[in-house]
Amino acid sequence: MNKARYHSQVPSPVGVLTLTSDGDALTGLYMENQKHRPELPAHSVRDDSRFTAVREQLAAYFAGELQCFDVRLDAAGTEFQQRVWQALTAIPFGATETYGGLAARLGKPSASRAVGLANGRNPIGIIVPCHRVLGASGALTGYGGGLARKQWLLAHEAG
């Protein structure tokens, strides 16, 4: 269940981003037409003031001035998904990793498919950088926000 009670929308080079929060932490960052994007809860209230820090950090990221976000996160997911999402945050800006490499780093070398599924369910795109994960051959594979956005984000981070 999405804990978000507040939301905001932010224009970006990859389209309008929807931010969600439970009032204490960021619970979601979704792109337009994103796969697995939940509907906003009926009780969610638009309150841009609750997202000032994340909006400023996203602006700095897209301007090429920020490489590491400092935002309190609270993504809802299974224990395994949480482990995958935490591991994503360790992939440095401008770097990439394969699903198999991420699975091995988690101590589950045969779980690259499960890592891919968890990666695809990441509710906090960009800040939890699931776009930095590639197929075994280094090819751009699956991205909930669409491959064109993944390609743009990787090119942006490559400079």
Tokens of 153: 């984000």
10 φ, ψ (degrees, to nearest 5) = -130, 125
Following DSSP, what letter does each residue of 76-138 receive, concatenated? Answer: ---HHHHHHHHHHTTSPTT--EEHHHHHHHTT-TT-HHHHHHHHHT-SBTTTS-GGGEE-TTS
Distance CA 159, CA 155 (A): 6
- The structure tokens listed for 65 are 């001035």
Distance (Å, whole) CA 102 – CA 98: 6
CB atoms within 10 A of CB 143: 23
Q: How far apart are CA 29 and CA 13, in angstroms?
A: 14
Q: Which of 102, 103, 130, 134 is catalytic?
A: 130
Q: Is 130 among the catalytic positions?
A: yes
Enzyme catalytic residues: 130
